[in-house]
């Protein structure tokens, strides 16, 4: 079968990735400064949402994670509805990027719905996220998440990424400029007998609108 331009591009891309992988292993990245204090960022919660004690990550356990920093917190609204927010961050966003959350949930025994890309309007800006439901027994966790790689917003499902999009990071990787990666996940639980909930979406909109422009840019890349 005669190769198409797309198959040739795919082969070239694979060869470049292999080469960049070798270079990454050989080169040492320069010091990128201190890691962000994700827990402090998460603790800056919006009004009308109160933190549930004991739901933060113990820093002493972070050596067991595949990331450089992990932070989480659960917040509850006056009506009793709760939302959980989780952030992971790594210096090396090429090897240690935030995992595709639907895959993580599936490996933990959840029955996962087909992930979809949706957009949320936050302060006049469009935030693209991945959304799915994870069912565990008689409970359903509704999830949205996105990633920011090297300061650039990335919500695309991996199977939807075009070859052109994948090529964008190659020049940086080849010169040893490995981008950092941030993953933000927000979710809420409900009984399977109840209708879909927007609690997690309500929370993240309020949360992002309450942040400074600098922090909001760090969290979204927007």
pLDDT tens-digit readout, 129-165: 999 999 999 999 999 999 998 888 887 654 444 445 4
Parent domain of 186: 5-220
- Write out the two tokens for 149: 């790689």
Overall number of domains in the chain? 1
- Write out the two tokens for 114: 């087909």
Burial of residue 59, with CB atoms counted within 10 A of its CB: 0-12 exposed, 13-18 middle, 19 or more buried = exposed
Residues above pLDDT 90, as percent of the chain: 51
pLDDT score of 118: 93
User: What pLDDT, in 10s, does the model give residues 49-69?
Assistant: 999 987 665 444 455 678 889
Residue 105 and residue 121 in contact, taking contact as beta carbons nearer than 8 Å: no
Nearest to 127 by CA among 159, 169, 158, 155: 155
pLDDT score of 13: 59
Q: What angle do CA 182, 185, 186 make, to 5 degrees?
A: 145
Give the C-alpha separation, 161 to 143, whole Å: 21
Would you give the distance in Å from CA 73 to the centre of its chain?
Answer: 15
């Amino acid at each position: 079968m005669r190769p198409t331009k797309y198959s040739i591009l795919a082969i070239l891309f694979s060869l470049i990735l292999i080469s960049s992988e070798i270079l990454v292993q050989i080169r040492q990245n320069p010091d990128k400064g201190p890691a962000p204090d994700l827990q402090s960022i998460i603790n800056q919660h919006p009004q009308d949402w109160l933190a549930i004690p004991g739901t933060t990550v113990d820093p002493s356990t972070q050596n067991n994670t595949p990331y450089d920093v992990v932070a989480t917190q659960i917040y509850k609204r006056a009506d009793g509805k709760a939302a959980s927010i989780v952030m992971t961050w790594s210096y090396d966003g090429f090897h240690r990027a935030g995992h595709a959350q639907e895959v993580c949930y599936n490996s933990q025994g959840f029955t996962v719905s087909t992930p979809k890309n949706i957009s949320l309007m936050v302060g006049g800006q469009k935030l693209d996220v991945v959304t799915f439901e994870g069912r565990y027994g008689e409970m359903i966790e509704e999830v949205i998440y996105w990633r920011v790689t090297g300061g650039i917003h990335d919500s695309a499902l991996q199977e939807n990424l075009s070859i052109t999009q994948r090529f964008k990071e190659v020049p940086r990787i080849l010169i040893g400029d490995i981008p950092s990666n941030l993953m933000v996940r927000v979710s809420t639980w409900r009984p399977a007998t109840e209708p879909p909930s927007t609690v997690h979406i309500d929370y993240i909109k309020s949360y992002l609108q309450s942040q400074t422009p600098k922090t909001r840019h760090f969290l979204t890349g927007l």
